[in-house]
Amino acid sequence: MKASVIALGLLAATALTSQAHADKLDDIIASGTLRCAVVLDFPPMGSRDESNNPIGFDVDYCNDLAKALGVTAEIVETPFPERIPALMSGRVDVGVASTSDTLERAKTVGMSVPYFAFEMAVTANDKSGIKSFEDMKGKIVGATAGTFEAIALEKQVKEWGTGEFRPYQTQADVFLALSQGQIDATVSTSTVAQANVKTGKFAGISVVGKAPFDVDYVSLFTNREEYGLINYLNLFINQQVRTGRYAELYEKWVGGELPDLTVNGVYR
Amino acid sequence: MFNYTFHWNQALRSLPQMLDGALVTLQIAILSMAIGLAIAIALTLFRLSGNRILSGFATTWVEVARNTPALFQIYMAHFGLGNFGIHLSPYTALLVGIAFNNAGYLAENFRGALKAIPDTQTRAGRSLGMTSLQAFRWIIMPQMLRIAFLPATNQMVWAILMTSLGVTVGMNTDLAGVTQELNARSFRTFEFFALAAVIYYVIAKAVTLAARAFAWRMFRY
């Protein structure tokens, strides 16, 4: 009698705990919605079309992920500095937001394997006389606050010891300041640079060369302890490349030579 | 559901950097207040002058400063003027924007204070042979500053808090700018922002208390 009560109690306890173990992957599938943080002033990765719908590489990538999970995608517009608050406060499930996978950030969020890679380009105001990365020494330069290139550029300015670095809150503000001549040059991802110069919205600027920064590998991210979901994301990225979808999306939004997502000589 | 483990030691290591930023914040607030006060007194005189152009100018300033967001004013000082080829650095743009805002609000404070001083005092001054400017300078203004002082400390607190809008024009040396940057680097959003909030609170509280002590010392009868 006593033993059966204990057994029943144990059974109830296991039933309860196993229910409490539903992880984020389960939650997403159960809720039927995948909420992605996407930066929408970062063409061609994320932007809005004429009728204000979100479009871009990251938007399509989120839609693909939702399709794989069998749920509907919800694009949550998230400026760069708000990616982490959005995740931590539970407003989004996954960040598909061109997030550089630095070790410092990996202390806070869980990063997938790289899903995209950027090269950095220098865009200068035509009046500044800047023709290469080295010409930026001693000038006023700027970049989008909180991005890989902003951190690298600010470090470079400090090393040069002259000139000034200004972080702006959005990519649009950087290019506005650049075309007004408030800053002389910026370093941004080459895709963004070309997309912005091409729009013709910003007069008097041109892409003048590459910046010698490391390749900027960007990851999907979610909560650090959600191993189940991170595992799924890694496999998903692998499948995107394997099935040719990655190449297809790259051709659609960027064009040109497909960036390699692997690093030679080491596992990840 | 708040899924986050706080790493306070990492944030506290950056405290000296943030305190340096707090000094810049305080510096901008004090400068913008000094400039704002000077302009506000001028605007008050313009409004009293009876000259339609001068008082129209003063009224327009006050209307725009009080009825548009401070964010807009600071953004215009940087990107708006930039459109016309006038390039203010983030520091200057922030200072100009806040000083513009301060001047508008302080001029309104002074208007209220003036209402509390009977007209007869000016007339008494004039009948003693003072010019109207002298009557304002020696009789009205001391009382006006006394009445407006405590409301004006509100504006000082407001100025301190408004400096945080500098991040929109590329400011990275003030408290908000430093905090944003530390956050971007490490993603420890909540620690850094909580720490910044405490620093803002302490500065604002200290300013309020200091102003009250000053008023008690200066303005007792």
- Per-residue pLDDT, averaged over B131-154, amounts to 90
Give this prediction's pTM.
0.80
User: A167 and B190 in contact by Cβ < 8 A?
Assistant: no
- A261 assigned to some structural domain: no
User: How many angstroms separate the CA of residue B80 from the nearest CA in chain A?
Assistant: 10
CA dist A233 and A231 (Å) reads: 5
Q: What is the pLDDT of residue B24?
A: 96
Same domain, yes or no, for A109 and A238? yes
Is residue A224 classed as helix, strand or coil in its secondary structure? coil
**For the segment B2-21, what is each residue's pLDDT rounded down to a tens digit?**
667 788 888 899 999 999 99
Residues of A at the B interface, defined by Cβ within 8 angstroms = 80-81, 83-85, 88-90, 102, 104-105, 107-109, 142, 145-147, 150-151, 154, 164-169, 173, 176-177, 180-183, 223, 225
- Per-residue pLDDT, averaged over B45-53, amounts to 90
Token pair for residue A177? 């300041």
Q: What is the pLDDT of residue A15?
A: 53
Nearest to A108 among B1, B172, B186 (CB): B186
Nearest to B184 among A81, A181, A225 (CB): A81
User: B87 and A181 in contact by Cβ < 8 A?
Assistant: yes
Q: Which bin fits A22, alpha (ψ -120 to 50), beta or left (φ > 0)? A: beta
CA dist A111 and A123 (Å) reads: 29
DSSP state of A140: E
Token pair for residue B7? 């790493």
User: A166 and B170 in contact by Cβ < 8 A?
Assistant: yes
User: How many angstroms separate the CA of residue B96 from the nearest CA in chain A?
Assistant: 16
Cα atoms in the 13 Å half-sphere on the side-chain side of A220:
27
User: B187 and A165 in contact by Cβ < 8 A?
Assistant: no
Helices and strands in chain B: count of H runs, count of E runs: 11, 0
Largest CA distance in chain B: 74
pLDDT in tens, chain A (268 residues): 556 666 656 555 555 554 556 899 999 999 999 999 999 988 889 999 999 999 999 999 999 999 999 999 999 999 887 888 889 888 999 999 999 998 888 888 999 999 999 989 999 999 999 999 999 999 999 999 888 899 899 999 999 999 999 999 888 899 999 999 999 999 998 888 888 888 888 888 999 988 888 889 999 999 999 999 999 999 999 999 999 999 999 999 988 788 889 888 887 6
- Per the listing, tokens 């992605």 go with A36
- Spell out the residues 6+ positions from residue B82 whose beta carbon is closer than 8 angstroms to its own: A176, A177, A180, A181, A182, B88
CA dist A31 and A12 (Å) reads: 25
- A5 assigned to some structural domain: no
Same domain, yes or no, for A43 and A80? yes
Same domain, yes or no, for A94 and A128? no
Backbone angles phi, psi at A100, to 5 degrees: -65, 135
- A137 assigned to some structural domain: yes
Nearest to A88 among B3, B168, B183 (CB): B3
Same domain, yes or no, for A84 and A154? no
Same domain, yes or no, for A160 and A223? no
Same domain, yes or no, for A106 and A131? no
Is residue A143 classed as helix, strand or coil in its secondary structure? strand
Look at the domain B12-218 and name its fold.
Answer: MetI-like fold (1.10.3720)
| Strand-by-strand arrangement of the A140-144 sheet | A164-168, A140-144, A185-189, A120-125, A205-210
| H-state helical runs in chain A | 2-20, 24-31, 57-69, 83-88, 103-106, 148-160, 171-180, 190-199, 227-242, 245-253
User: How many angstroms separate the CA of residue A179 from the nearest CA in chain B?
Assistant: 9
Same domain, yes or no, for A160 and A127? yes
Q: What is the pLDDT of residue B181?
A: 87
User: B170 and A173 in contact by Cβ < 8 A?
Assistant: yes
CA dist A249 and A40 (Å) reads: 17
CA dist B160 and B203 (Å) reads: 8
- A18 assigned to some structural domain: no
Same domain, yes or no, for A77 and A205? no
Strands A164-168 and A185-189: unpaired
ipTM attached to this prediction: 0.77
- Overall domain count for chain A: 2
Domain boundaries, chain B: 12-218
Residue of A nearest to B86 (CA): A182
| Distances, alpha carbon B109 to alpha carbons B87, B114, B209, in Å | 32, 9, 20
Q: Give which of A164, A124, A177, A125 is closest to B79, Cα–Cα.
A: A177
- A14 assigned to some structural domain: no
User: How many angstroms separate the CA of residue A171 from the nearest CA in chain B?
Assistant: 12
Token pair for residue A11? 């059974």
Q: If 0-12 CB within 10 Å is exposed, 13-18 middle and 19+ buried, where does residue B160 land? A: buried
Backbone angles phi, psi at A72, to 5 degrees: -95, 145
- Spell out the residues 6+ positions from residue A152 whose beta carbon is closer than 8 angstroms to its own: A120, A187, A211, A213, A214
Q: Which residues of chain B make contact with A80, given a CB cutoff of 8 A?
A: 184
**For the segment B73-104, what is each residue's pLDDT rounded down to a tens digit?**
999 999 999 888 889 999 999 999 999 999 99
- A95 assigned to some structural domain: yes
Q: What is the pLDDT of residue B2?
A: 60
Q: If 0-12 CB within 10 Å is exposed, 13-18 middle and 19+ buried, where does residue B60 land? A: exposed
Asked if residues B156 and B207 have their Cβ atoms less than 8 Å apart, the reply is: yes
CATH of the domain at A164: 3.40.190.10
User: How many angstroms separate the CA of residue A169 from the nearest CA in chain B?
Assistant: 6
- A33 assigned to some structural domain: yes
Is the pLDDT at B145 greater than 90? The verdict is: no
Residue numbers of the domain that contains A135: 120-210
Is the pLDDT at B218 greater than 90? The verdict is: no
User: How many angstroms separate the CA of residue B57 from the nearest CA in chain A?
Assistant: 29
C-alpha angle A53-A73-A148 in degrees, rounded to nearest 5? 75
Q: Which residues of chain A make contact with B1, given a CB cutoff of 8 A?
A: 90
Same domain, yes or no, for A112 and A125? no
Is residue A222 classed as helix, strand or coil in its secondary structure? strand
Same domain, yes or no, for A136 and A165? yes
- A2 assigned to some structural domain: no
C-alpha angle A75-A188-A210 in degrees, rounded to nearest 5? 140
CA dist A174 and A150 (Å) reads: 11
DSSP state of A208: E
- Per the listing, tokens 């790289």 go with A114
Q: Which bin fits A264, alpha (ψ -120 to 50), beta or left (φ > 0)? A: beta
| Distances, alpha carbon A133 to alpha carbons A127, A137, A168, A204, B141, in Å | 16, 8, 20, 18, 57
* Size (chain A), residues: 268
CA dist B38 and B156 (Å) reads: 14
Nearest to B90 among A105, A166, A225 (CB): A166
* Average pLDDT score over chain B: 91
